[in-house]
Structure 1
């Protein structure tokens, strides 16, 4: 009886360990430039300005069988903002807006992941809640995420890919130049691949 109990405990421990080991760590593929944080904001209500952050990095852990255990951390170099217009980039980087000299980094760290089913394409979706630190202020935000898939790549690695969207209000993140209520909301579109750690 004792042997059977010990064997059952050993098997249970092995299964638990195997389950825990399934969550894998990934580095977002900045080197291969398979990582994008794009944004859109209304310009005075007359048109939209679109842009991107060209320098950012991050890591995440992910197990498709247990998405609620996933975690992600992102670091954005704010001076890398690019709206395809040099003078506007300078203005956005100035004290009127991002003040990159004082706040060179923006960070997002997840605090929870909640599965939300599947989208119209049959891909798994989730709400990723986390803390965004921007312009010296930290606020919780929710990213609507889509798991695009995972698998081997042609170079011997293993990848997982996601995209997500979120909106923030500039007025929530410290005092910036006021361009009116129509220019307060910023929409972000995020897409990236992560390479599994070996």
Structure 2
């Protein structure tokens, strides 16, 4: 009996158990930066996102699924945001969401399918775990930052290139609550 218990414990310690998290939208954001006229960088963000993620105890495997409301784009300029929602850019009536679904994660690189403007492409994010721990309300949270660079033209958004750069830097700040 003791041998079986010890073998079971040894086997259990080699299996990486995944923890599931729901994105806390109040403490998460998707931001972007694009060049403007070759003289400045314009930042923006999407204010509405939801999703889930999981990762193994050893942090070397995991899954991510996010949905972002494209109409929630916010660049701190109402007229520009209205234009960005139009068919010239995001066409939010036809494409109300942006989605990301991972295909692999190795602890540092997150690879998956980004669907933007109705086009799906594989993108790779560099990921950094910020931390994890118990919150004051008895829950357990973890947080990550992930960044990538895309060309918006790859997703069929070509309006006013090069006045607004093709290259778009994306950073995701996510905090999740363990379920």
Same fold (TM over 0.5): yes
Whole-Å separation in 1 of the counterparts to 2:82 and 2:69? 14
Matches within 5 A, 1:24-103: 24-30=19-25, 33-65=26-58, 67-103=59-95
**TM-score if structure 2 supplies the norm length?**
0.91
- Distance in structure 2 (CA, Å) of the matches to 1:186 and 1:95: 18
Quote the offset at 1:175 in angstroms: 4.2
SS of match in other structure, 1:132: strand
Cα deviation for residue 54 of structure 1 reads 0.1
Which residue number corresponds to residue 137 of structure 1?
119
Shift of the 149–52 alpha-carbon distance from structure 1 to 2, 3 Å rule, reads same
Deviation at 1:69, TM superposition (A): 2.2
Stretches of 4+ moved more than 2 A in 1? Answer: 10-22
Counterparts in 2 of 1:20 and 1:181: CA distance versus 1, 3 Å:
farther
SS where residue 45 of structure 1 aligns?
A: coil
Q: If the length of structure 1 is used for normalisation, what is the TM-score?
A: 0.83
SS at match of 2:83: helix
Q: Deviations over 1:70-118 (max 9, x none)?
A: 1011000000000000010010000000000000010001111123xxx
Once the two structures are superposed, what CA deviation does each residue of 1:144-168 show, in whole Å capped at 9, x if it has no partner? 0001111100010001110111110
Quote the residue 1:185 is aligned against.
167
Ranges in structure 2 where 5+ consecutive residues have no aligned partner: none
Larger Rg: 1
Matches within 5 A, 1:147-162: 147-162=129-144
Task: Give ranges in structure 1 of 5+ residues lacking alignment.
Answer: 116-125
Cα pair distance change 1:136/1:40, threshold 3 Å: same
Q: CA deviation at 1:22?
A: 2.8
**Hey, what does 1:121 align to over in structure 2?**
none
Alignment partners' CA distance in 2, 1:172 and 1:49: 20
